[in-house]
Amino acid sequence: IEGKGFTALVLTTGSWPHMPVDQMKPPADVKVCLDMFRRYYDTKTKNRVLQWINERSTATLIGYFTGCGEGKKGARELTMTAHQATICLTFNEAAQWTVGELIEMTGITLEEMRRPLLGLVAGKYPVLVCINDPKVKKLSPSDVIGFNDEFKLQKRNSPCLYRS
């Protein structure tokens, strides 16, 4: 797909520890890539079931931040988990969402949502902000999350936004 890169690493269940399969709903652009790969995979294999382990998936997004410069000068590559990328991509549709709305749109449960969302809101590089409590430590479904207009990052490539 033009303008998008996609790489899949396929491992058999015998070579990977058991990981729970979550119910995350990938963004539309990502779903197209997943579906294309699944069709390709199905033509090359017999009797194998392809399962996406989102917990171990990563993504690199390019964001344009006014605090980093105008136009392409403001472009920053952000490497993050699949859950974080799914959350971030929802902000292409609206400037703010409640945590409850993010849960509904992404299919990520509140328990699964807390860690990646806190990494985006309260981590070293806060791409998002909790509007009703900027110093939030624990998220609830009624918290309002918005894009951080004051986000600044000197380097073009970010370190990972994961939160441990």
For 104-125, the pLDDT digits (tens) are 999 999 998 999 999 999 888 8
Please state, in angstroms and rounded to a whole number, the distance separating the CA atoms of residues 77 and 147: 16
Which of the residues in the chain have pLDDT under 70?
1-3, 67-73, 154-164
Please state, in angstroms and rounded to a whole number, the distance separating the CA atoms of residues 159 and 164: 14
pTM as predicted:
0.82
Rg (CA), the chain: 17
What tokens does 28 get? 């539309």
pLDDT of residue 164: 37
Q: In the chain, count of helices (H) and strands (E)?
A: 4, 5
Residue written as tokens 């969302």? 117
Helices 82-90 & 99-106, crossing angle to 10 degrees? 110
